[in-house]
């Protein structure tokens, strides 16, 4: 078993869960559903992958910045 780090944010009517260890995300109608779906998606992603495809994350910060876009 491996521990994943993730962030959850709201996008329109869904919550999106983004994994920080691998480039995988999922969504749901609740935060709990989004995280549950993310766990399943990461497990499917990791099937058959080499162990180095999973990057350990020790610290995470969520921030906001303005950009000219």
2-19 tens-digit pLDDT: 899 999 999 999 999 999
d(C-alpha 52, C-alpha 2), whole Å: 12
> In this structure, is residue 67 part of a structural domain?
no
Give the residue numbers spanning the domain of 27: 6-53
The model's pLDDT over 12-39, given as tens digits with 9 standing for 90+, comes to: 999 999 999 999 999 999 999 999 999 9
Say what the pTM is.
0.87
In a domain, 58, yes or no: no
CA 1 to CA 49: how far, in whole Å? 14
Which pLDDT score is estimated for 14? 98
Q: How many structural domains does the chain have?
A: 1
Q: Is residue 49 a part of any domain in this protein?
A: yes
Query: What is 37-67 written as a DSSP string?
Result: HHHHHHHHHHTT--GGGS-------------
């Amino acid at each position: 078993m491996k521990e994943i780090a993730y962030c959850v944010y709201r996008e329109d009517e869904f919550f999106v869960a983004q994994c920080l260890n691998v480039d995988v995300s999922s969504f749901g109608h609740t935060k709990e559903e989004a995280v549950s779906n993310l766990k399943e998606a990461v497990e499917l992603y990791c099937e058959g992958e080499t162990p180095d495809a999973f990057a350990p994350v020790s610290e995470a910060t969520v921030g906001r910045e303005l950009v000219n876009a």
